[in-house]
Amino acid sequence: MDHKHLRVALNDGHSIPVLGFGTSIPSKLPKSKALEATKLAIDAGFRHFDCAYCYQNEEEVGLAIRSKIADGIVKREEIFYTSKPGENLLPKDDHGKLLCDTVDLCDTWAAMEKCKDAGLAKSIGVSNFNRRQLEMILNKPGLKYKPVCNQVECHPYLNQRKLLDFCKSKDIVLVAYSALGTSRDKLWVDASSPVLLEDPVLCALAKKHQRSSAQIALRYQLQRGVVVLAHSVTEKRIRENMQVFEFQLTSEDMKSLDGLNRNFRYNTADYFDGHPSHPFSDEY
């Protein structure tokens, strides 16, 4: 890991900043919040931005990045921008059941490889893949490019140890979303789920290191070799999240955080129930 530039190498020769900024915002907030938060994140030092078509705010995020480039604050080559293609926003039938395509994942990956060859993407990866699905891609006849990363939910309550070990063995970077729990948007998360950042162990470590619980949760992932996404629309918290390189957790701290694992998912992806490629039925 290159601590000077805070990046980690990918298996295709490119590199990714180890700390990223998640651009999804709660549905109750206006899209302009994404523009504002992205500008604040760039000013704070973030250079890795995680986006998706389904967030419905890529235009705002793009405008924020372009404005900071125009202002001379950042250069385009310094920005690692992740998008997730797909223009159908979870279409459902009259009974509310998800309408599923039956496109083979390997065929989809072959199309992604063509996108890379065409210069439409510098690096290509996957999200929410389990081990079995990763092996399908890795064992695909004629595979040209391995996924550089697998972005999954990962936090002390779901530390993904087995999946992380597998990804490391295949030179695939694990990227953690919902690393701070979630924004508790009712569209995605059960409102009765536990609040990660209020966990007594996290709070005790935050007090010990004179940091926030969020900083402890982010630092935990960095020390495990996980690229981690931080998410906030508040300037103070955005700046705090960039300060995770200013301290270290001890081995005992890490063991305490490992002990919080309960294989608990905030994003259960119930909206994908019935999809032939639903990833969460496997152990990992």
| Residue numbers annotated as active site | 55
Instruction: Give the distance, in angstroms, between the CA of residue 6 and the centroid of all CA atoms in the same chain.
Output: 17
Order across the sheet with 19-22: list the strands: 80-82, 48-50, 19-22, 227-230, 173-177, 149-153, 126-127
Which residues are CB-contacts of 140 (< 8 A; sequence separation ≥ 6)?
A: 106, 109, 110
Phi and psi torsions of 216, nearest 5°:
-65, -45
Residue 16 dihedral angles phi and psi, to the nearest 5°: -130, 135
What tokens does 231 get? 């998410």
Beta bridge partners of 20: 229
DSSP state of 82: E
